[in-house]
């Protein structure tokens, strides 16, 4: 059992994206990505079974998908998709997301 | 791929706790619990493999564990534990949490 405080990992990287592993076990991996406003977490996918959730905890922008599809993303919005499905994030303001990956990759 | 908007599930139950399943797959289950201030999500556990994460997205209170252990819980705090470990939540104000369970139960 552990308690993680996300206000302790609020670090931004002027080069674009700061990635922090919060938890990694056989069951899931949990990460915090902090993305500078104006930056993009590029659309990507992995040829693996499993799913990912992306919850916005600060800022706003868009969830990105295949074929240049975009969905507005604000605090409290969550994208859930297969790891195989192309997904990404565009930060219009400084943006923080919490990502769960199960099973972990 | 689906987008979930947590501001659409901000419902409280005067009897204590409102539980909303946001996602359920073979990989993980994601729920939103909205707990009225003054209410408790009682300490519980299940004799199953797997882990759970509990992220506070609104309000404050405490994470609860075995032997009456408590840990302050505010927005951005996350508890990660085995499903077998006793865990619960005390809401001091109206409180919203997002729970991931992997594998799903």
Q: Measuring CA to CA, how many Å separate A68 from each of A3, A65, B19, B21?
A: 37, 6, 35, 29
Query: Number of C-alpha atoms within 13 angstroms, CB side, residue B69?
Result: 10
Fold of the domain built from segment(s) B28-102: Jelly Rolls (2.60.120)
pLDDT tens for the 105 residues of chain A, in order: 999 999 999 999 988 799 999 999 999 999 999 999 999 999 999 999 999 999 999 999 999 999 999 999 999 999 999 999 999 999 999 999 999 999 998
pLDDT at B15: 83
Strand order in the sheet with A17-24: A17-24, A29-35, A95-102, A51-58, A77-82, B2-5
Contact residues for A84 (Cβ-Cβ < 8 A; gap 6+) = A45, A46, A47, A48, A49
A:B CB pairs within 8 Å: 109
CA distance linking residue B46 with residue B27, whole number of Å: 18
pLDDT tens for the 105 residues of chain B, in order: 999 999 999 999 988 799 999 999 999 999 999 999 999 999 999 999 999 999 999 999 999 999 999 999 999 999 999 999 999 999 999 999 999 999 998
Chosen from A48, A78, A103 to mutate, greatest number of chain B CBs within 10 A? A78
Chain B: give the shortest CA distance to residue A53, in Å: 9
Q: Cβ atoms within 10 A of the Cβ of A76, count?
A: 20
pLDDT at A91: 97
Pick from B5, B25, B81: which is nearest to A77 by CB?
A: B5
Annotated domain spans of chain A: 32-102
Class of domain A32-102: mainly beta
- Judged on CB neighbours under 10 Å (0-12, 13-18, 19+), A91 is buried
**Are A27 and B102 an interchain contact pair (Cβ–Cβ within 8 Å)?**
yes
pLDDT at B43: 97
pLDDT at A15: 83
Three-state secondary structure call for residue B100: strand
Task: List the one residue out of A51, A65, A97 whose CA is nearest residue A78.
Answer: A97
pLDDT at A103: 96
Chosen from B28, B82, B99, B101 to mutate, greatest number of chain A CBs within 10 A? B28
Nearest-by-CA chain B residue for A3: B79
> Is some CB atom of chain A closer than 8 A to the CB atom of B79?
yes
Q: Cβ atoms within 10 A of the Cβ of B42, count?
A: 13
């Amino acid at each position: 059992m552990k308690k993680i405080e996300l206000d302790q990992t609020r670090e931004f990287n002027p080069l674009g994206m700061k990635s922090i592993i919060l938890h990694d076990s056989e069951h899931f991996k949990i990460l915090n990505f902090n993305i500078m406003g104006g930056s993009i977490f590029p659309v990507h996918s992995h040829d693996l079974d499993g799913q990912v959730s992306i919850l916005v905890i600060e800022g706003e922008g868009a969830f990105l998908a295949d074929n240049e599809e975009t969905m507005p993303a604000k605090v409290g919005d969550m994208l859930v998709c297969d790891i195989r499905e192309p997904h990404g994030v565009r930060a219009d303001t400084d943006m923080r997301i919490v990502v769960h990956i199960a099973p972990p990759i």
